[in-house]
Amino acid sequence: MALFPYLDCRHHFYLPVGDGHQLYVEESGNPSGLPVVVLHGGPGGGSSPLQRRFFDPQQFRIILLDQRGAGQSRPLAGTAANTTAHLVADLELVREYLGVDRWMLFGGSWGVTLALAYSAAHGDRVLGMVLRGVFLCRQQDMDWLYTDLGAARLFPREWQAVNAPVTDRTGSLIERYAAALEGEGARAFARHWCNWEAVLAGMSALPQGPGGDDELCMATQEVHYFRHGGFLQEPLLEACAGSVLPVEIVHGDRDFVCPLDQAEALHRVLPNSVLTRVAGGAHSASHPAIANALVNAVKRLRKRVME
């Protein structure tokens, strides 16, 4: 992979954003470089040191954060006062606290959803976006993931495995897991939930057992958001249509979490976007072909916004 070497974050801190939430925020790279904020997936996925490696640390001021209820943010897996509108407002608080006028957005999967929602609300603060594994959070996109009409047809054994622990409950898969995650054994249910998405992303499922904090955050936040349609005030394609912000879209043609048609739909409504279809690319940013495409996309976008 043509990634930049691992580097330690320059400093990190917790930023109170109201409602009892504190966001974990870190910076690395060049303090005078081009500001870029990384928006992790999930919801609930949390940030990772890998995400620093897509940027030249001599050229970028790299800002990572954990969204409400995710990663190292507090409280762990908290869902109270946790909606997309809150996450968008949090980004503005972070930007203002750091003294950033305008910044690039770098988001993957749910991070694309959040990037599009933020740019629709605060486009004047966005220099451009690199978007990977586009997730538009439409009902059809959630149906693909969580009903027997979508990815379940490609992975029937794994679909059976994610359904098996909640067969004694009623409602949709999302509603059944919402109830399960509120009771005893929540961490075991979280592992089952995350294993389904891991398989679709081309990764191995973990053995049955209690999930760790990352799995608990991911399962809790995804169920919380998806049972409410992502808390979106309007469809993202409509909210962003016609935006002339420079955008680089990277999407694998073997992405079974977010099929390629979502990236193509977004590309059609953004006149200043470039879509890179990665042959054999899966959903994860750590997939070698996707990682290489992201590094190149960041380089192209930097050149575009600096012109």
Residues 32-58: tens digit of each pLDDT:
999 999 999 999 999 999 999 999 999
Say yes or no: 148 and 284 in one domain.
no
Average pLDDT over residues 142-158: 97
Is the pLDDT score of 307 beyond 90? Answer: no
Q: Is 2 within a domain?
A: no
Q: Which domain holds residue 203?
A: 140-229
Q: Identify which of 37, 234, 22 has the alpha carbon closest to the alpha carbon of residue 117.
A: 234
Q: Which of 185, 209, 229 is the last residue of a domain?
A: 229
Q: What's residue 183's pLDDT?
A: 85
Residues 33 and 55 occupy one common structural domain: yes
Q: DSSP of 154-214, one letter per residue?
A: T-HHHHHHHHGGGTTS-S-HHHHHHHHTTSTTHHHHHHHHHHHHHHHTT-PPPPSS---HH
- 119-124's contacts with Cβ under 8 Å and 24+ in sequence apart are 119/240, 119/243, 119/245, 120/236, 120/239, 120/240, 120/243, 121/88, 122/88, 122/91, 122/92, 123/243, 123/245
Same-domain status, 225 and 238: no
For residue 1, the model assigns a pLDDT of 53
% of residues, the chain, pLDDT over 90: 98
Calculate the average pLDDT of the chain.
97
pLDDT tens digits, 224-256? 999 999 999 999 999 999 999 999 999 999 999
User: So which residues are the catalytic ones?
Assistant: 109, 255, 283
Indicate the number of domains in the chain. Answer: 2
Picking from 204, 229, 254, the residue at the C-terminal end of a domain is 229
Question: Do residues 57 and 87 share a domain?
Answer: yes
pLDDT at residue 263 is higher than 70: yes
Q: Residues 203-211: what's their mean pLDDT?
A: 95
Tokens read off for 288: 């070698």
Residues 142, 143, 148: CA angle, nearest 5 degrees: 135
pLDDT by residue (tens digit) across 67-84?
A: 999 999 999 999 999 999
**pLDDT tens, 177-188?**
999 999 889 999
Same domain, 59 and 175: no
